[in-house]
Each structure stands twice: as C-alpha cells, then as structure tokens.
C-alpha cells in the first residue's frame, strides 16, 4: 500500500463538517476503512480514524447522535471479530477509531459530565493567558483570570472566549507557544493539567 497516496486522502480533511448524507454513502468510505485496518503507518491510521470520527459525529442525517451510535456498535462488533481472528492491524485500526470518537465527542465540551476532581472544592488558580486569537481595541492582549481548579478545561476556554469575544470552539491553548493543549483534554479539571505558571497562549483553531 502506497503511504504517500494515503496521506493525500487523509490530509484533505475539514473538521468543521456538516455531513448531509450517511457517512457510509460517501465514495471514499470503504477506502478509508481499508486504509485504517491495513496500514502500518501510525500517523496514517490516526489521521484516518480522526476523519472517520468527525464525519460520523457531525452527520446531520436522522436524530442527533444516531449515526455515531450506530457506528460505535459496528466498530465494537468488528473489534471483537478482529480479536477472535488475532488480526493485529485490524485491532489497532478499530482501537484508533474508538479513541478518536472519544476525542471528537469532547471537542465541543463534555455535556453534563464532570471530571472526578470537580466533586472536590478547590481553591481558585490564577491563569495567565496571552490572546493571539482575536484582535481589536475592545479585546485584551493578555488576561489573568482566577479560575476554580476543579472546573474543566472546556469551562476555562468558555471563560476566555467571553473575554476574547469569540466562541470556545474557536480557540486552543498552547504552552510556550508550541505545545497545544489537545481537545481530548477538554473534560479534565484545570488543576490536573498543570497550567499554573506556564506561558499560555490562546490561538485560533486551525481546521
């Protein structure tokens, strides 16, 4: 299998998707599944799984969440079959899909779910953030916010978004400008992320 050709397929993704048909009706669908269960490249597997998760979680077909739920059931069934057959590449592929489905569902917050740390009352942390996401006379270049350590990263992003006049889904935090705080951390308590004292920068999400 030609890895370069695979990369051309999986790198043309846009996660601000509104899929108006069933994902399995897309022409590339079977090819994506073939790639993810046969490739030896971890990067190709992860990127392809990320795209599959995105198109299922953003499908506008039927009742909200139905397509994603059906996909989860299919993946779990195929995962069991791969286990029975001791097919390592398929196991890795389906594990990757499950992982990326979990990541994708946390991109827009965690609903009514709470981090374990949120059950404990903790002191307010002072989070300092430089704003490289939005510009204008009415938005601050840098802010310091007192924030409960037990609240989630997504709640922190929501607080910052109010100050920066954008939505929480439009910004991502970076540590020392280079290391992104990944979206799959959105459900974690801020105090568990060790952000205090770090050089934090809020940037526009690159989609």
**DSSP class per residue in 36-80:** HTT---HHHHHHHHHHHHHHHHTB-SSSTTHHHHHHHHHHHHHHH
pLDDT confidence of 7, banded at 50, 70, 90?
Answer: very low
pLDDT on residue 149: 86
Q: What is the DSSP letter of 116?
A: G
pLDDT of residue 196: 85
- Hey, what CATH class is 116-204 in? alpha beta
3-state secondary structure of 98: helix
Whether 65 has a pLDDT exceeding 60, the answer reads: yes
Residue 166: what pLDDT?
A: 92
Q: What is the DSSP letter of 189?
A: B
132 pairs with which residues across the strands? 203
Share of the chain above pLDDT 70, in %: 77
Is the pLDDT reported for residue 70 higher than 90?
no
Mean pLDDT comparison of 34-43, 52-61, 96-105, highest-scoring range = 34-43
pLDDT at residue 134, rounded to an integer: 92
Q: What is the pLDDT of residue 107?
A: 62
Q: Which burial class, exposed, middle or buried, applies to 38 when counting CB atoms under 10 A from its CB (0-12, 13-18, 19+)?
A: middle
For residues 183 and 92, give the distance between their C-alpha atoms in angstroms, rounded to a whole number.
Answer: 22
In this prediction, residue 124 carries a pLDDT of 83
Q: With beta carbons less than 8 A apart as the criterion, state whether 100 and 49 touch.
A: yes
Q: How confident is the model at residue 8 (pLDDT cuts 50, 70, 90)?
A: very low
Phi, psi of 149 (to 5 degrees): -65, -20
Q: What is the largest CA-CA distance in the chain?
A: 62
For the chain, what is the mean pLDDT?
79
**Coil, strand, or helix at residue 83?**
helix
pLDDT at residue 18, as a whole number: 57
List the single range of 3-7, 62-66, 114-118, 128-132 with lowest mean pLDDT: 3-7
**What is the predicted pLDDT for the residue at 207?**
55
Q: Please tell me what DSSP assigns to residue 152.
A: B
Q: What tens digit of pLDDT does each residue of 109-166 get?
A: 554 455 555 555 567 889 999 999 999 989 999 999 999 888 888 889 999 999 999 9
pLDDT for the residue 103: 73
pLDDT value at position 115? 54
Report residue 2 as tokens: 């030609």
β pairing state of 200-204 and 124-132: parallel
Residues 15-35, mean pLDDT to the nearest whole number = 72
3-state secondary structure of 15: coil
pLDDT of residue 23: 75
């Amino acid at each position: 299998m030609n890895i370069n050709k695979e990369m051309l397929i999986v790198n043309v993704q846009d996660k601000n998707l509104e899929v108006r048909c069933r994902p399995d009706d897309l022409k590339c669908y079977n090819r994506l599944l073939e790639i993810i269960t046969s490739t030896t490249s971890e990067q190709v597997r992860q990127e392809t799984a990320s795209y599959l998760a995105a198109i299922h979680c953003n499908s506008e077909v039927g009742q909200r969440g139905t397509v994603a739920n059906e996909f989860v059931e299919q993946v779990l069934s195929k995962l069991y079959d791969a286990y029975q057959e001791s097919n390592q590449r398929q196991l890795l592929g389906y594990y990757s899909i499950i992982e990326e489905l979990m990541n994708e569902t946390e991109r827009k917050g965690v609903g009514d779910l709470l981090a374990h740390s949120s059950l404990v009352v903790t002191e307010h942390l002072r989070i300092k953030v430089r704003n490289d996401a939005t510009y204008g006379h009415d938005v601050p270049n840098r802010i310091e916010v007192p924030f409960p350590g037990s609240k989630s990263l997504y709640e922190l992003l929501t607080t910052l978004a109010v100050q920066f006049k954008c939505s929480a889904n439009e910004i991502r935090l970076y540590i020392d400008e280079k290391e992104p705080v990944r979206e799959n951390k959105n459900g974690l308590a801020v105090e568990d992320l060790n952000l205090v004292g770090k050089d934090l920068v809020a940037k526009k999400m690159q989609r």
